[in-house]
Amino acid sequence: EVQLVESGGDLVQPGGSLRLSCAASGFTFSSYAMSWVRQAPGKGLEWVSITSGSGGMRYYADSVKGRFTISRDNSKKVVWLQMNGLRVDDTAIYYCARGEVVAAPLDSWGQGTLVAVS
Amino acid sequence: QSVLTQPPSASGTPGQTVTISCSGGSSNVGSESVNWYQQTPGTAPKLIIYGDDQRPSGVPHRFSGSKSGTSASLAISGLQSEDEADYYCSAWDDSLKGFVFGTGTRVTVL
């Protein structure tokens, strides 16, 4: 069974940093691209970042470019999102999700972790 | 940012058909596959349509997708109470080099 478990969400002050983790199991992790998608309270979905299966390709939404960094360790089956320079409008539930390749549909999602910036 | 436009709400009685539109542009819907996600309150999104009109295993046949040009649609036929949820369209954007999501549509079963 495919499982994605996010952790690391917390309450942080504006300008602070946080690192989110997403632990994967139940599939060949290195064969899948991994994305982070967020959802502010009461709002819609916003894609944040994606890394290819090898980690060689990384893309970011304009709203987080230069502040957030995505990375992965295929031996540990983990993908991270390092968030620096956090702003109030970064407050959201952050989901990790997998796709067969970059640009492929996100076919499995984690349960999300809450980041509150205040 | 939401680059794809959806109506904020849609509704129907049990058994009816509800259709949700998704309008995009040439760099996303017009050139890439459209996917649809269903999200019920307090849960993670779930992929229900991919590749414009394909259903993942386990998704009921009453969900169907279509696309024409820069617009896509999701139809829910034989509406059931369990279909009450938020629905989002999404596509890869070649210009932005990232996924774009629709503004979301809340479906209510009357």
Cα→Cα distances A93→A10, B1, B75, Å? 10, 16, 28
* B44: phi then psi, degrees, rounded to nearest 5: -75, 155
Best of A65, A102, A106 to substitute, by most chain B Cβ atoms within 10 angstroms, is: A106
User: Which of A35, A112, A68 minimizes the C-alpha distance to B97?
Assistant: A35
Cβ atoms B6, B20 nearer than 8 A? yes
- Closest partner residue to B98 among A44, A45, A59, by Cβ? A59
Residue B2 has pLDDT above 80, yes or no: no
DSSP assignment letter at A41: T
Inform me whether the pLDDT recorded for B1 exceeds 90.
Answer: no
Q: How confident is the model at residue A96 (pLDDT cuts 50, 70, 90)?
A: very high
pLDDT at B3: 81
Is residue B12 pLDDT above 90, yes or no? yes
Measured between alpha carbons, how far is B42 from A68 in angstroms, rounded to an integer? 25
Tell whether the model's pLDDT for residue A78 goes beyond 60: yes
Q: Which tokens in the block code for residue B62?
A: 């009453």
Residues of A in contact with B33 (CB under 8 A): 105
For residue A50, pLDDT over 60 is answered with yes
Could you tell me whether strands A92-99 and A3-7 are parallel, antiparallel, or unpaired per DSSP bridges? Answer: unpaired
**Tokens 């478990």 map to which residue?**
A5
> In the predicted model, what is the mean pLDDT of residues B65-73?
98
Residue A100 pLDDT > 60: yes
Average pLDDT for chain B: 96
Residue pair A8/A114 in contact (Cβ under 8 Å)? The answer is no
Q: Which of B27, B18, B13, B8 is nearest to A43 (CA)?
A: B8
Whether the CB of B33 is below 8 Å from some CB of chain A: the reply is yes
pLDDT at A77: 98
Q: Give the residue among A69, A71, A66 at the shortest CA–CA distance from A56.
A: A71
| A window 2-31, beta carbon within 8 A of B | none
Percent of chain A scoring above 70 in pLDDT: 100
pLDDT value of position B59: 98
Kindly tell me if the per-residue pLDDT of B74 is higher than 60: yes
Residue B109: Cβ within 10 Å count: 18
Strands of the sheet with A3-7, listed across from one edge? A3-7, A18-25, A78-83, A68-73
